[in-house]
Structure 1
Amino acid sequence: MMAPNGETLVTSYARTSSDKPEKPRRISTEGLQRAMSDLSFELSKEGMDTKLPPISEVEDAKCECCGMSEECTPGYIHRVREKFSGKWICGLCSEAVKEEVEKNGGKQDEALNSHMSMCVRFNRIGRTHPVLIQAEAMREILRKSRLEGRGARAKSTTPREGESVKRGGITRSSSCIPAITKEINERALVN
């Protein structure tokens, strides 16, 4: 095999009469440099287009729901605004709005307004008082369970006469207090 500079390259070991492989010849650094310049000359002759297409300018876009900023192209910003009634919202908020649209039956404006009001409330209260948001979420869970017919208190699993047990409610089979007091009494006797 011939290198671009005319030197011969050894690609496999040649066997001698004593069956010992010969070492391949080394190419000089000068030969490698010459080969590289020959390759670069050949590539430039082919007229390869090394120019990249222009990159459109990037702008900071701030989500009108949560306030998060992202770097986006003007075209992307325009498409998002067309999709969400002229408002730019981030990817996370757009997914939340899609979920809300599925829940309310396809009313996108209503879902967007609902999500935006929830984000405003969270930014105003939730960031400074996270415990209040957690307590409010628990209150909402209890409220929803009452609306669905489940009581907030534990009910006995044994049905009374004429009543049937409601499925899905929080139930308790027995109290753990006797077991705890028994264990405490046993410990007191040992000590």
Structure 2
Amino acid sequence: MTTAKPTLFAARGLEVVAAFQVKFMMLDVSGHRPLLKDPPGHSTAGGKLATQHIVLEPKEPGGTTWTVGSINVATESAKVRSFDCVKEIHRMRFRDRPFLIDRQQYQSFLDAAVAFLRERGMAVEIESSLPELSEPPGLASLDPPDGGRPGAMAATVALVVVVAAVVAFLLLRS
């Protein structure tokens, strides 16, 4: 039985994962360990699927995993989130739950991660504010054509059901 060999960008991604794990395996960021996720498979479709996420994974089960950045070996670029950005994401997700990541520990990790990525020739962008959330493609086409009047969809469905019932009644009667 043979296993598929990773393509160029997938192989590069796996190399960066291995180096990242060696560099950060002993680091503790407030009970979390930094991980770089593997590429999505043996092929990245020519680099189109080459994004890999950097996460802080809880050492204890049941904790929150934080996505704190991403890399793309095909474009040789990376994005990492500042402490304030991650804290704001936490606030939006969990409202009043305390944010248990220590600022100094996170900043030490962030500085080391940025240096690590730059050593590998990546252009690094630091996200200091929330990423803009865009509307998924095709979602705008789901808006009701009638301007969104309440009950318009329900009335249309009811009318279709009544017409179908009348047609069925007339066909069965004859």
Question: Looking at CA atoms only, which structure, 1 or 2, has the larger radius of gyration?
Answer: 1
TM-score in same-fold range (> 0.5): no
> TM-score, normalization: structure 2?
0.24
Structure having the higher helix fraction is 1
User: Larger RCO: Structure 1 or Structure 2 (Cα < 8 Å, ≥ 6 residues apart)?
Assistant: 2
> TM-score, normalization: structure 1?
0.22
Structure having the higher strand fraction is 2
